[in-house]
A and B are shown apart, each in its own frame.
Chain A
Amino acid sequence: NAGVMQNPRHLVRRRGQEARLRCSPMKGHSHVYWYRQLPEEGLKFMVYLQKENIIDESGMPKERFSAEFPKEGPSILRIQQVVRGDSAAYFCASSPGLGGSSYEQYFGPGTRLTVT
């Protein structure tokens, strides 16, 4: 039973390039969350998605960042025109759709983005 998958695990981009981070939720999970962890800080919520819907994007920066979770395929977090301040670890989590355990989030290994 595969857990949450994220790729790539490490991503290096030059300033101004685009970064695409992928997340495949656990089997049977229909909710996906993205978090960012800056050095020496805790995880910060970015966005919560269900299939084809953004439910809560209150933690997303207003510009350059977008996320999607299409009907088919992984969830994508896209960062356009990256800057050095975007260097961080980006974690994806997933949870079941309904029921008591729907609030349990299972995390992937993260993608470490380095902007040079």
Chain B
Amino acid sequence: AQSVSQHNHHVILSEAASLELGCNYSYGGTVNLFWYVQYPGQHLQLLLKYFSGDPLVKGIKGFEAEFIKSKFSFNLRKPSVQWSDTAEYFCAVGFQKLVFGTGTRLLVSP
């Protein structure tokens, strides 16, 4: 069965700091990988996705993620966070049936 691990449950950063959120998955075959974001009081929004091709994927709001097949990882990065990036971030893997990680709560202090 597929599983997704997000190692950081809570992350606190100051504005302009760099961000990297870890995501590891267990699945031996071809996978689709996703990062979703949930801002306070809002619903889940798709941040970026990887299906195939270039393993460095760029998403909305300056986020990017790198698929490293040998490490079964799909880490999310942003060079300089803003206060408005305060949210919960979920990594997910799958096709129709998505398997989600438990989420990382990011708090960016101004």
A40 cross-chain contacts in B, Cβ below 8 A: 102
Closest to B49 in A: A104
**B71 in contact (CB, < 8 A):** no
> What are the residues of chain A within 8 A of B42 when measuring CB–CB?
109
Asked, given contacts A42-B90, A43-B90, A103-B32, whether A48 binds B46 with beta carbons under 8 Å apart, the answer is: no
Residues from chain B with a CB closer than 8 A to the CB of A35 are 98, 100
Interface string of B11-28 (1 = CB under 8 A from A): 000000000000000000
CB distance from B100 to the nearest CB of A (A): 4
**CB distance B44 to A103 under 8 Å?**
no
Judge whether B43 and A103 touch: CB under 8 Å. Answer: no
| A95: B residues at CB distance < 8 A | 96
B87 within 8 A of A: no
> How far apart are the CA atoms of A18 and B49 in the complex, in Å?
37
Interface residues as binary, A92-116 with B (CB distance below 8 Å gives 1, 0 otherwise): 0101000010011111111000000
- For window 61-116 of A, CB contacts with B under 8 Å fall at 91, 93, 95, 100, 103-110
Residues of chain B within 8 A of A100, CB atoms compared: 51
Cα of A44 to Cα of B100 in the assembled complex, Å: 7
Give the complex CA separation of A31 and B109 in angstroms.
39
> Shortest distance in angstroms between B39's beta carbon and chain A's nearest beta carbon?
12
Distance (Å) between the CB of A10 and the closest chain B CB? 13
A58 CB-CB contact with B under 8 Å = yes
Assembly CA distance A44 to B46 (angstroms): 17
Contact B96 A59 (CB under 8 A): no
B interface residues with partner A (beta carbon < 8 Å): 4, 32, 36, 42-46, 49, 51, 90, 92, 94-103
Partner-B contacts on A (CB < 8 A)? 3-4, 31, 33, 35, 40-45, 48, 55-56, 58-59, 91, 93, 95, 100, 103-110
Mind listing 30 A-B residue pairs with CB under 8 Å? A4-B43, A31-B96, A33-B96, A33-B98, A35-B100, A42-B4, A42-B90, A42-B102, A43-B44, A43-B90, A43-B98, A43-B100, A44-B100, A45-B94, A45-B97, A45-B99, A48-B96, A91-B43, A93-B44, A100-B51, A103-B32, A103-B95, A104-B49, A105-B46, A106-B46, A107-B36, A107-B45, A109-B42, A109-B43, A110-B43
